[in-house]
Structure 1
Amino acid sequence: MNPLDWDLIDGPAPALFAVVGGIALLWLVAGRRRFLVRAVLPALAIGAVGGLVVWFVTEKVLNSWGAPQPAWFYLLGGLGIAGVVLAVAKVRASPRWWQRCLAVVAPIVVLAAVAAGVNAYYGSYPTLGAATGGSAVPDLGAVRTPADAEAGPLSTLADWTPPADMPATGKVYRTTIPGTVSGVKAGPAYVYLPPAYLSATPASVPVLVLIHGDPGGPEDWITGGQLPTVMDSYAAAHKGLAPIVVLPDATASTGPTPSLCLDSNYGRAGTYLSTDVPNWVKDTLKAGTDAKTDWAIGGFSYGGTCSLTLATGHPDAYPTFLDISGEDKPTIGAGQDALIAGYFSGDATAFAAQNPLDVITTRTLAGTAGVITVGADDTFYRPQGEKVAAAMKQAKVDVRLQTVPGGHTWEAWKAGLQDNLDWLMQRYGVVPG
């Protein structure tokens, strides 16, 4: 087995890291009574204070995570800090060279165990390859020319016959999507091309734009979301047919905070995602050119909020949406008043014009449909998703609410996509409903 394929979530790796990290910490703690009093107790105290400081700064001051994190998250962090402090004391107290070497290695092992425990909870890096960067993603380049791709109606499961040269799996490419209309200067984007699109006589396939979370980037869908595996598995069961998946940079902003996928003082991100991204796909990949029903938008957490914002604000671009663990409105850590002041110069009406739950009270979204998924254990985002679903139904928007296993982690986010691929393909008209 390739070491890069080692499972860091469900395999024995998390337990192994915990055991080895525990042994390393115990070795750092071990010593005579004088060492325990002068080094261990102060180190533990520093670790406890450090964990509290990290909690206060990240959750109360910066709201870095967007939601409260479990207490053990900061307990592990405190142990990591204590391990580093103990290592300094151990180096000074150790008379032998090999003990000093161990004292340098031990805190690294402790920190690795802490990182492995946090990763096992969130599921951000499911394998060692994902955690270390894995294999390089090739640049998109000239994958398609106008003569190569279909420009007509989507191929359907009933009328598509896979050609002999169709590859068994799809491919992921790295690219840049320019802000031609919006002026947005976005970072790298990624594109998944399904097997049916990669044959010499490609199928005409739909387009799914997926938005990442914040903090984070488009590559998170590839690592934590295991997008290539999820899409290849679906394609294998459907004659190679699956959507082209576009993963744009959705946090590009001219301000100090993310764009929130809005047109605001901090850039025209709403225009970028609803106009520039589709135009680029149509021009470069010759996909999504037949009808607006060829398109869908989705995302998790911050990206879920973005998908809702774009679907309600730009229904002609995205008549289908997948809101995975999103919020009930665009938000920033500093609060709603700070958002309106910074993004809209204090104009609450300008914010309301793009805020999804305000938009649905002023316009009819006939033809729009969406799925809102919430994690069963997500006590912070689940109530917001339920609020959005209730408001959308009251506004006569075709939505369905789903509860999936997990909290605000990849367990829930991955399921939100994987469990709804059939629904998406039915909405596109590719598979029968």
Structure 2
Amino acid sequence: MGWFYSIDIIEGWLPATIWALVAIAMVVLLVAQRKSLKRAGLQIGIGLLSGALGLLATWLVSNVFVVFGVSLGWPVIFAVAAGFALLGFAISAAVMTHTWRRVVAIVLIPLALLATTMRVNAIYGEYQTVGSLFDYSPYPHISTLNLSLNTISVKDWNEQVKVKSRNTSNIPKSGKLVHVDIPNTASGFQAREALVWLPPAAFAKHPPRLPVMVMLAGQPGSPTRFFTASDTVKILAEFANKHHGLAPIVVSPDQNTEATRNSLCANTTKWGNAETYLTQDVPDWITENLPVSTQADEWTIGGFSQGGTCSTQLAPNHPNIYGNVLAVDGEIAPTDGSVDHMVKEYFNGSKSAYERQVPRNAIVNNAPSHQLMILGAGERDAESVSNIKKIGDTAEKNGWTVFRFTVKNWGHDWHAVNAVFKVALPYLCERMGLGNANVDFPTDSKIRELA
């Protein structure tokens, strides 16, 4: 089944085929009704009206009532409106035609739904392959690897590279993704399996003490999603290829227990002790099982959307663990309903317990700090752009080093994650001891636009 799960649903033959079938069906229906232009014109009119109503409804859901917590963005709104137009045409054709023409119209209905869904998914970049729809994880378990904890410094590693020692030459050419169950010893949190990306240097007999990135997907989502929805592995591999197999070890743990749950990344009465899991169980497992540095300056926590929110609340509350933040399209505060609802359902009525989780409050409560914060947002996600300004300003006033980016032509999506991650990784690696002094990075905290 591997070939089936690997089928690309954003680019390639499958989406192209679906759209081609939609176009062929529409042309066939219109040509077949050339002797009844009035009927065909009526179907087109119904399609256009349906598209207009779909545009209005989607805009209201997205930008007025903000049902999903963020704006869907105009590309998605227009894509959904086009889908409504196709459906309106197809349904009206199915009602007004007969024999084989009706069959074609009926077949067009699911094709239009599928094509629209694929287009919306392509805009977000959420599901890359068929396998990602089912959270398919073909990666081996970490127990199949033979990792050594007999580490050396990065400096010694680079010296060994220069003399072409056996230790540095006998490593794989590429990194590996593996899955692992991280024990919930301290928290009791019912997390799903985590995914770990290991760079080539991690497989040496005496590996260097590598920096760590703990990266969280959004909600709904999963640990697998962080890697399968983004270009993270590709970007990390490119960095490792240029730096003697060196790159951060990237761990994507589960912060929500299920795809549709929101733990708020806090210790709550509703979903359990997510904060303890992410700040005790996960770091403990990493340091006990992987060849990593234990210095907070060499640990980064980050993520997308809800995962980004988590990182901006956890890092300031736990500066002894996470010295750096890399968050894209995060919220201004952890959110699952109103504040009153969260205080009651999650924090047993304690307003102060909730307020502690608000990123700006966490920053102020633990000030001053010399941590680093890199924030990103899709340009079309106005709320996230506002959030990175507010959170970044608060962090900067309280001693943090802050860099902020907006990504041109994208919104609340994985395309924005890719752009920010690609720019931020070399700088983070330099800060965490892997890069060189020639990284082209801003010298101030102005919000910069990425193409």
- Cα distance 1:398–1:88, how it changes in 2: closer, same or farther (>3 A)? closer
**Structure 2 partner of 1:324:** 328
- Whole-angstrom distance in 1 between the partners of 2:9 and 2:80: 23
Aligned residue number for residue 311 of structure 1: 315
Deviation string 1:11-43 (CA, Å, 9 cap, x unpaired) is 898787656534534555774468559877667
1:29–1:191 Cα change, 3 Å? farther
Q: Tell me, in whole angstroms, the C-alpha distance in 2 between the residues paired with 1:228 and 1:358.
A: 33
- Write the mapping of 1:209-248 to structure 2, written as runs, cut at 5 A: 209-248=214-253
CA contact (8 A) 2:326 2:375 kept: yes
Check whether the contact 1:292–1:316 (CA below 8 A) recurs between aligned residues.
yes
Distance of 1:403 and 1:42 partners within structure 2: 39
2:75–2:123 contact (8 Å) kept in structure 1: no
Q: C-alpha displacement at 1:318, in angstroms?
A: 0.7
1:380 paired residue among 362, 369, 383: 383
Superposed counterparts of 1:114-263, under 5 Å: 114-126=116-128, 136-144=137-145, 148-151=148-151, 153-154=153-154, 158-161=158-161, 163-252=168-257, 257-263=261-267
- C-alpha distance in 1 between matches for 2:331 and 2:244: 36
Give, in angstroms, the shift of residue 431 of structure 1: 2.7
Q: Please, which of 336, 339, 344 is the counterpart of residue 341 of structure 1?
A: 344
Q: Which runs of 5+ in 1 are unaligned?
A: none
Q: Sort the Cα spacing of 1:280 and 1:371 in 2 relative to 1 into closer, same or farther, 3 A.
A: same
Amino acid at match of 2:287: K
1:418 aligns with 2:418: no
Amino acid at match of 2:431: R
Given the alignment, which residue of 266, 269, 272 partners 1:265? 269
Pairing of 1:15-26 with structure 2 (within 5 A): 20-25=21-26
Equivalent residue, structure 2, for 1:103:
105
SS at match of 1:182: coil
Alignment check: 8 A CA contact 1:288 1:295 kept? no
Change (3 A) 1:253 1:222: closer
- Structure 1, 80-89 or 347-356: larger mean CA deviation: 80-89
Deviation at residue 400 of structure 1 after TM alignment: 2.3
Which shows bigger deviation, 164-173 or 151-160? 151-160
- Unaligned ranges ≥5, structure 2: 162-166, 438-451
SS where residue 373 of structure 2 aligns?
A: strand
Query: Which moves more between the two structures, 261-270 or 12-21?
Result: 12-21
C-alpha separation between the residues in 2 aligned to 1:227 and 1:189? 16
Aligned mates of 1:420, 1:68 — CA distance in 2: 25
Identity %: 28
> What do the CA deviations read for 1:31-58 (whole angstroms, capped 9, x no partner)?
4468559877667666765665566567
Retained in 1: the 8 A contact 2:93–2:102? yes
Query: Distance in 1 between the 2:133 and 2:187 partners?
Result: 35
| Worse-matched range after superposition: 388-397 or 359-368 | 359-368
Counterpart-to-counterpart distance in 2, 1:220 and 1:359: 28
CA positional deviation for 1:245? 0.7
**2:184 is paired with a residue of what secondary structure?**
coil
> Does residue 416 of structure 2 align to residue 394 of structure 1?
no
Secondary structure at the counterpart of residue 143 of structure 2: coil
The change in CA–CA distance for 1:73 and 1:230 in structure 2 (over 3 A counts) is: same
Q: TM-score when scaled to structure 2?
A: 0.80
Offset of 1:402 from its aligned partner? 2.9
SS at match of 1:137: coil
2:395–2:402 contact (8 Å) kept in structure 1 = yes
Q: Distance in 2 between matches of 1:235 and 1:72?
A: 35
Q: 1:391 to 1:134 in 2, by over 3 A?
A: closer
Q: Distance in 1 between matches of 2:146 and 2:132?
A: 35
One-letter code aligned to 1:137: P
Change (3 A) 1:71 1:412: closer
Give me the whole-angstrom Cα distance separating, in 1, the residues matched to 2:348 and 2:26.
51
Answer yes or no: is the 8 Å Cα contact 1:208–1:296 preserved in 2.
yes
Between the aligned partners of 1:286 and 1:70, the Cα distance in structure 2 is: 40
Matched residues in 2 for 1:388 and 1:243: separation? 26
Mapped to 2, the partners of 1:155 and 1:426 lie a distance apart of: 13
Provide, for residues 230-266 of structure 1, a one-character-per-residue CA deviation record: whole Å limited to 9, x for no partner.
1111111111111111111122279x85011112222
What residue is the counterpart of 1:428 in the other structure?
Answer: 432
Assess, with a 3 A threshold, how the Cα gap between structure 1 residues 62 and 187 changes in structure 2: closer, same or farther.
farther
Structure 1 counterpart of 2:73: 70
Report if the CA contact (8 A) 2:202-2:291 is conserved: no
Give the total of aligned pairs: 424
The code of the aligned residue for 1:385 comes to I
